[in-house]
Structure 1
């Protein structure tokens, strides 16, 4: 597919975006991208679409905002918000690959300038993997940034001292027991990477990620937006109110401090997809696969990566929200496409949801399911919870945990639905036969294997 094909395809898609995106199905209620920008008071949007083959199409819409507002272009830089975590995780895994770090080693082996404590002043055992996966149980914190004239250091953020407006980073949940999304995990990771390498974080990320991936318009340096202010999209609060000074500064670089463009962001996701298929010179297959493997059973987060894995839609990447900005970057690995979009508004979520739904419909691939006749048998969710599947007269009968058998209803994309419960079921092959049953309830996926 050449650049012209990308352009024509997305010009058409951006002219018919769905206002009602919750179902994932295109509704008659559509709008153009400029219409949605007007409805949600989003001044500027950048979007890029790329393929594993190397082709990229990018465009800007609207304006950067501020007193010297200019049109958004493909080179306009936005705050990448929490996609920073995705980029930092890639850099951390490259250090794991080089033997500098070990995923399952206690972080005390690497931290020399600061130590993690719990509320009683004890040092819990926390691993690098748990920081990357948000399972270390650290303080529940969202970092809102600071005016440029009173930015704390990272050590002050960790200690909750100086001009810092957030509480000290502490272990507050049992490490490894559950997922809790919090930027505090990546503040600790940032300090750990600096201590382990003796290199300032922004320089480390430049050398290990940004330059190798050719993210030429990106930086973790707090000075970066000031150095190219004519190319920076100014942030806006809800309702279109401009952020004083144009943007806030984030000393929590690994958590939320990256400045980037949609083109640069999708380059990273495409590189991770190449790595997961064994075709990257930067990261090996096993570590790349860890990035988009749930670290908690049934979860939707890997190592620095949000995971979408449902029937008919398999993608991974990350979303982001800072004061004044919203964004997402995703890759659909089975079809080889990636899409990233960034806005300079906190009101950008609905608009981004419409863009993501359009990309899902365009690039998501159907999940291969097993033939119906091969699925009969007993599966085990856990030792005390068997699931029995039978095929009778062309109908699929399901019984689990001592409940009465019910006939499942076939739905699109190879799914089966329980007639009375919020339960989706699909069968996946393993070792050449359908040995896996996936049960999805309230957005959580559990896996049962053939007994």
Structure 2
């Protein structure tokens, strides 16, 4: 594996606008995309479980300066903080300090969730999985001299700009992403151990993973201002003071670099395989398992388990910054990227799509063309006909004329003119179903099922289609 050569090539040909995940003819090099989206700086790192790492910085630490982004430049890690905090919490579970399925009231002493006497129990697991049903909150940060305490955030007091943390949904009933879950987790971990959160996470995660350029301490960027990327609003406007302070440390308060974020995800990948000295296999597996059936979030971990895109990690957006850190377990490779701009997400999606194509190694087996020919139904009024003509599959949707599908080596097909990806999927002994992916949305068309004719009746009955999307 030649990481430097791989990524010099990949960053020279990124999708300008990602939709299906397939490389389109509309590509651009990284510097061009940075200019298009007014992103001053980007830092990228790629690592393998073998220990090989490649990292590079691009652009400047702040608009109007010439100070370059380097591989040791720190950025706000935004909601990747939750991923690291969850790792620390699971290490406390492993040590017997916390129980995943215990009521949070067993640990909280400094603050209590209001209305608990009328509520079902809220557990540590539900906080980690965003299923506790707490207030819907996104944290925007504060000027350093106006930041409230965490208790004020929980209570809605002082200078806080967010509502008090309250139960608003039935605990465990569904997933709803909210920073308030991790603010409660932060206070719970502090109360359970008696240690300041930034010290606790340094001991549980940062020091064991050699993350020396990372910290939850909000004084960290002030202590090394020449090595911190300044945040920017859309259009390249600098954040007054350079960055904002986040008292909600577990939810959004980590400072880090891509090179160091890789270490966490690669350690989790090792743990899932039973090869970590820090986290046992069972807890790591739970971390990477959807906590709601069919969901895409584990314990502090974003999950994508599609065969051609299997990865886990976390994304993040704070005022002034965007980032992601993911591992592709099938290839043992992780990629992290951070920008100092709120407009950085489109750029990051292009980088992540390139990594998907390179590292999601599980491939789809091509269906024998003769086995998939026939009529499929997306809706009662939308038939799709697949035919085998001169050895090629043709596709005709509703009233459209047939077109020849273009075969990919991985078993998928493309429409020659549209942003449409087609694949045929079969599980066990069931017939093939037709999956259509357009702009990241997947729809399923099922075979038309012919029913035996009855006296006075003719025609067919069609299964109701399953539609999925992200």
Secondary structure at 1:347 match in 2: coil
Equivalent position of 2:51 in the other structure: 54
Give unmatched runs, 5+ long, in structure 1. 374-392, 426-438, 445-451
Equivalent position of 2:97 in the other structure: 100
In the TM superposition, residue 148 of structure 1 has moved relative to its aligned partner by 0.6
Secondary structure at 2:25 match in 1: coil
In the TM superposition, residue 417 of structure 1 has moved relative to its aligned partner by 3.9
* 1:32 paired residue among 16, 29, 32: 29
TM-score (norm 1): 0.84
In the TM superposition, residue 310 of structure 1 has moved relative to its aligned partner by 1.1
Further displaced range: 407-416 or 190-199: 407-416
Distance 1:302 1:101 in 2: 18
In the TM superposition, residue 20 of structure 1 has moved relative to its aligned partner by 2.5
Equivalent position of 2:286 in the other structure: 290
- Report which of the two structures shows the higher radius of gyration computed on alpha carbons: 2
TM-score (norm 2): 0.81
* 1:42 paired residue among 26, 39, 43: 39
Q: Deviations over 1:347-389 (max 9, x none)?
A: 00110011001101111112577x989xxxxxxxxxxxxxxxx
Q: Deviations over 1:403-422 (max 9, x none)?
A: 9xx99979627635448992
Equivalent position of 1:232 in the other structure: 228
Distance 1:408 1:417 in 2: 12
In the TM superposition, residue 136 of structure 1 has moved relative to its aligned partner by 0.3
In the TM superposition, residue 440 of structure 1 has moved relative to its aligned partner by 7.1
Distance 2:295 2:313 in 1: 15
Give the CA RMSD over aligned residues: 2.6
Equivalent position of 1:19 in the other structure: 16
* 1:394 paired residue among 357, 371, 374: 371
Distance 1:334 1:313 in 2: 10
In the TM superposition, residue 191 of structure 1 has moved relative to its aligned partner by 0.2
Distance 2:466 2:181 in 1: 28
1:268-417 alignment, distance < 5 Å = 268-367=264-363, 394-395=371-372, 412=412, 415=425, 417=433
Is 1:77 matched with 2:74?
yes
Secondary structure at 1:423 match in 2: strand
Q: Is the 8 A contact 2:376 2:445 kept in 1?
A: no
Distance 1:398 1:320 in 2: 43
Is 1:252 matched with 2:236?
no
**In the superposition, relative to structure 1, how do residues 302 and 399 fare at CA in structure 2: closer, same or farther (>3 Å)?**
farther
**In the superposition, relative to structure 1, how do residues 262 and 117 fare at CA in structure 2: closer, same or farther (>3 Å)?**
same
**In the superposition, relative to structure 1, how do residues 27 and 396 fare at CA in structure 2: closer, same or farther (>3 Å)?**
closer
**In the superposition, relative to structure 1, how do residues 194 and 55 fare at CA in structure 2: closer, same or farther (>3 Å)?**
same
Q: Is the 8 A contact 1:311 1:414 kept in 2?
A: no
* 1:190 paired residue among 186, 193, 196: 186
Q: How many residues align?
A: 404
Secondary structure at 2:105 match in 1: helix
Q: Is the 8 A contact 2:424 2:434 kept in 1?
A: no
Is 1:133 matched with 2:154?
no
Secondary structure at 1:165 match in 2: coil
In the TM superposition, residue 399 of structure 1 has moved relative to its aligned partner by 11
Q: Is the 8 A contact 1:48 1:59 kept in 2?
A: yes
In the TM superposition, residue 57 of structure 1 has moved relative to its aligned partner by 0.7
**In the superposition, relative to structure 1, how do residues 236 and 294 fare at CA in structure 2: closer, same or farther (>3 Å)?**
same
Distance 1:97 1:396 in 2: 53
Q: Is the 8 A contact 1:52 1:337 kept in 2?
A: yes
Distance 1:143 1:353 in 2: 22
Distance 2:435 2:200 in 1: 53
Is 1:117 matched with 2:84?
no
Distance 1:311 1:281 in 2: 29
Q: Is the 8 A contact 2:435 2:445 kept in 1?
A: no
